[in-house]
Amino acid sequence: MKNQRRNFIFNAGIATASLFLSKKLNKKRGFQYFHKSKGPIFLSTWDHGIEANKEALKTIDSGGSGLDAVEQGVRIIESDPENTSVGLGGMPDSTGKIALDACIMSSDGSCGAVCMLENIEHPISVARKVMEDTPHVLLAAEGAYDFAISKGFKKKNLNTSNSKKSYREWKKESKYKPIINVENHDTIGMLGMDDNGNIFGSCTTSGLAFKRRGRIGDSPIIGAGLFIDNEVGGAVATGLGESIIKIAGSAIIVELMRHGYSPIDACKEAVLRISKNEDIENIQVAFIALNKSGEYGAYSVHPGFNYALTENRKTSLIDSDHLRK
Ligand code: GLY
């Protein structure tokens, strides 16, 4: 009995010390601090992120959750026929069809995705339905389409006169170039932090222009195109999907932040890893990241990448730092 009591006191002592140490370590790493922004924080890729962030803020202001905000924000871009890299009017594949990829991830670790989804304007909302209404993470092609229809999404032809024209132009030579060059805009990825410090993310794209039929990029792949760990932060990617998938880009960035890297240093390290394995002359890849303290950062291979930031209820466009000077 005496021994049991001694063991109990000893174990309780160890538990208290561990709690103290882990709190101290977390404090050092900055995990337990929530952001100081007045209002939520949103970060999204490219200049189309400005509109997306504004919509996300509006969603929160009208009582929506952080998850609603990152979904509604990117839906605006999916519906924009002038935007040639996402949703309606996106770039066709090698057969002239617009095949969309998207994923969404919540602060509780749940996630959903669709890939090669055709004739549905809002792949991000189908991805959310996959997350909420199925035991699965990723649905593809016809299976994703049938699922979307079963959930009440309407069939819509996503080709516009502009996307058809681009395809006709490309068809003249039909050169298959799996590169995303430095001028190309591609993909909207969004990270959001609500007033309680919970982090959410979304990502949606028509993918590499004129991609081989069936080719899937990073954007619907959890851990590549997007990753959230609510204890640490989140990251989202844009650019050539193959390069991002090979290093599990977004997951790596979150892990680096877990081990003390700042968001910008974590994004830079991911870009450096790509540059070690590949000839980066003709590929653009960029990452944005947000940590639990509300710090953010971005890094790209080439100049030209920018991202939209909403903080203290103000939205601005920030040029990313880059590897190639
Ligand atoms: N990042 C989009 C793609 O490679 O498809």
Domain positions in the chain are: 1-30, 35-322
Q: What is the pTM of this model?
A: 0.89
The answer on pLDDT for 29 being more than 50 is no
pLDDT at position 185 is: 58
Residue 253's nearest CA partner among 276, 278, 226, 285 is: 226
- Please state, for a pLDDT cut of 70, what percent of the chain lies above it: 86
Q: Tokens 């969004």 belong to which residue?
A: 190
Determine the Cα–Cα distance for residues 298 and 265; give it in Å rounded to an integer.
8
- Nearby residues of 88 by Cβ (< 8 Å), 6 or more positions away: 78, 79, 80, 81, 121, 156, 158, 160
Q: How far is CA 273 from CA 238, 276, 300, in A?
A: 16, 5, 12
Question: Rounded distance, CA 86 to CA 314, Å?
Answer: 25
> Percent of the chain having pLDDT more than 90?
80
Instruction: Indicate whether 39 pLDDT > 70.
Output: yes
For 92, 175, 211, the CA distances from 170, given in Å and listed in that order, are 10, 7, 11
> What would the two tokens of residue 11 be?
């174990």
Provide the CATH number for the domain formed by 35-322 in this structure. 3.60.20.30
Q: Which residues have CB under 6 Å of ligand 1?
A: 186-187, 205, 207-208, 217-219, 238-241
With the most atoms of ligand 1 within 8 angstroms of its CB, the residue from 114, 205, 250, 282 to mutate is 205
Using the predicted structure, report yes or no on whether residue 3 has a pLDDT greater than 90.
Answer: no
pLDDT tens for each residue of 183-224: 555 799 999 999 999 999 999 999 999 999 999 999 999 999
- For residue range 98-107, list pLDDT tens digits in order: 999 999 999 9
Nearest-atom index, ligand 1, CA of 207: 5
The predicted pLDDT at position 37 comes to: 75
Q: What is the rounded distance in angstroms from the CA atom of residue 42 to the CA atom of residue 48?
A: 13
CA-proximal residue: ligand 1, atom 5 (nearest): 207
Residue 114, CA distances (Å) to 72, 82, 96, 110, 158 in order: 17, 23, 20, 14, 16
